[in-house]
Amino acid sequence: MSKIQKSIRQIIKSHFLEMQNIRHHIHRNPELSFEEYETANFIEKQLDNMGLSYKRMAKTGVVGYLGKPNIGKTLALRADIDALPIVESNNTSYTSKNKGIMHACGHDVHTTWLLGALKALTEIGDELTGQIKFIFQPGEEKIPGGASLLIKEGVLDDVDFILGQHTMPLLDVGHFGFRSGLYMASADEVYITLKGKGGHGAHPNTLTDPVACMAQVINSLQQVVSRKAKPAIPSVLSFGKVTANGATNVVPDLVEMVGTFRTYDEEWRFEAHDWIKKIAQNTAEALGCKADVQIKVGYPFLENNEPMNQLVKKNAQEFYPENQIHDLELWPAGEDFSFYAQKIPAVFYRCGIRNIKKGITSHLHTPSFDIDEDALIHGAEMMAWQAYKLLNTDDTIK
């Protein structure tokens, strides 16, 4: 183990209780996308304590620097800070105090990791060649995504490459996952309103039933993936919410459907949008209804830079045993880190948080989501180590 590795491990371990308190505070006080004002204030206090300079971007984002400007390259480290509209079911000392809002995706953990990594990087700053740009990003969970807003404000203008680390409940604590090339899917929101003529359920012959129409539209739209998509391009079309505000004997005038479309190819992505509209409208028309289809374009697919990913994975294998470093499969969730990856070399990788013995197995975006807090140490030291190695390597990343 190198001197720098030992230093990072010792520094992070010495700050564990502080990181735990930081995570608990953020988890207790979650804020929704683009409303993270108190979270940003709290982050700034932590940065003040470290003597780091920063500024606000995109209203609730906090961005600053550490290291040596004009000597070497600039690496951005990104953590997202927003929470989700979920009612937490956990009963802990740090359970959310804001009813209906919860850090169910681990953004409280991501923020803690980056703050912990900055503590280590501040202490070993003389060893860094180059500069760290830290990005505490708002609004990852809501279109248009905080990443896109920060990019418009110039957050990447002086950055050579960027790194993101995310919780992974499918990996045990102390384990990490990496993938070169395509990793996460584009994510678009689909809104369909079916308009008919409602009335008494006992007289269907007098109605134009949008509920029956909805069933046919959902079935017909499965053809988009099963018959229109190329088999080599993974695609998902799912509807998670259908609202037909009738009763046992009342058929409503309209039905609203909300869904998501995800894929890994930009050309096919927008071709699929056309098919969704065409199939929904034609199916509805055949049944006497009218379909209004709106598709809200979300995040593009996320592609990890292959040379950079190989280097990041190699760095991880120097810090942890090889049996704790894994190759990841495609992950069809969406992530606005993809906007960064479109602009500069980027790697988005995973840090395990699961502990089956402790009963910590809940998935992302669930009311019972939690982590084994040993992951706070592993994630912070990995992020600090990767930053040191990426800035002090002679390998070229393009």
pLDDT digits (tens, 9 = 90+) for 192-243: 999 999 999 999 999 999 999 999 999 999 999 999 999 999 999 999 999 9
- Is the Cβ–Cβ distance between 201 and 250 less than 8 Å? yes
Q: Are residues 281 and 178 in the same domain?
A: no
Distance of CA 72 to the CA centre of its chain: 30
DSSP H or E stretch at residue 225: none
Domain boundary among 299, 319, 352: 299
Q: What is the pLDDT of residue 127?
A: 87
Distances (CA, A) of 176 to 9, 165, 167, 274: 17, 10, 9, 39
Q: Is residue 398 part of a domain?
A: no
Supply the pTM of this predicted model.
Answer: 0.94
**DSSP letter at 316?**
H
Q: Is residue 241 part of a domain?
A: yes
Q: Is residue 289 part of a domain?
A: yes
Q: Is residue 152 part of a domain?
A: yes
Q: Are residues 129 and 245 in the same domain?
A: no
Q: Are residues 271 and 170 in the same domain?
A: no
CA-to-CA distance for 47 and 56, rounded, in angstroms? 13
How would you class 181 by CB atoms within 10 Å of its CB: exposed for 0-12, middle for 13-18, buried for 19 or more?
A: exposed
- pLDDT tens profile 323-341: 999 999 999 999 999 999 9
- How many domains does the chain contain in total? 2
Q: Are residues 107 and 176 in the same domain?
A: yes
CATH of the domain at 28: 3.40.630.10
- pLDDT tens profile 68-78: 887 889 999 99
**DSSP letter at 355?**
B
Cis bond leading into 367, ω under 30°? no
Q: Are residues 152 and 284 in the same domain?
A: no
- Is the Cβ–Cβ distance between 189 and 143 less than 8 Å? yes
Q: Are residues 84 and 154 in the same domain?
A: yes
CATH of the domain at 202: 3.30.70.360
Q: Is the dihedral of CA 168, 171, 175, 179 positive or negative?
A: negative
Closest CA to 140 of 169, 111, 175: 111
Q: Are residues 66 and 174 in the same domain?
A: yes
Q: Is residue 397 part of a domain?
A: no
At what angle are helices 107-123 and 374-391 packed, to 10 degrees?
50
Q: Which long-range contacts (CB under 8 A, 24 or more apart) does 256-260 make?
A: 256/191, 256/192, 256/193, 256/194, 257/190, 257/191, 257/192, 257/193, 257/194, 257/214, 257/217, 257/218, 258/189, 258/190, 258/191, 258/192, 259/189, 259/190, 259/192, 260/187, 260/188, 260/189, 260/190, 260/236
Which domain, by its residues, includes 29?
3-184+301-391
* Cβ-proximal residues to 264 (8 Å cutoff; 6+ apart), any chain: 182, 185, 186, 233, 234, 235, 301, 330
Q: Are residues 97 and 217 in the same domain?
A: no
Q: Is residue 44 part of a domain?
A: yes
Read off the pLDDT band of 312 (50, 70, 90): very high
Q: Are residues 229 and 246 in the same domain?
A: yes
- pLDDT tens profile 48-66: 999 999 999 999 999 999 9
Read off the pLDDT band of 396 (50, 70, 90): low
Q: Are residues 280 and 309 in the same domain?
A: no
Domain boundary among 277, 299, 321: 299
Q: Is residue 124 part of a domain?
A: yes
Q: What is the mean pLDDT of residues 105-117?
A: 98
Q: Per the structure block, which two tokens stand in for 328?
A: 């990841």
Q: Is residue 396 part of a domain?
A: no
Q: What is the mean pLDDT of residues 113-125?
A: 96
Q: Is the pLDDT of residue 398 over 90?
A: no
Read off the pLDDT band of 2 (50, 70, 90): confident
- Is the Cβ–Cβ distance between 174 and 324 less than 8 Å? yes
Q: What is the mean pLDDT of residues 122-138?
A: 93
Distances (CA, A) of 194 to 207, 224, 247, 253, 254: 14, 19, 17, 8, 5
**Hunting for tokens 């703050």 — which residue is that?**
115
Q: Which amino acid appears at position 189 of this protein?
A: E
Q: Which residues pair with 96 in a beta bridge?
A: none
- pLDDT tens profile 345-372: 999 999 999 999 999 999 999 999 999 9
What mean pLDDT, rounded, does the chain reach? 96
Q: Are residues 166 and 312 in the same domain?
A: yes
Domain boundary among 241, 264, 299: 299
Closest CA to 148 of 44, 32, 61: 61
Q: Are residues 169 and 307 in the same domain?
A: yes
**DSSP letter at 203?**
-
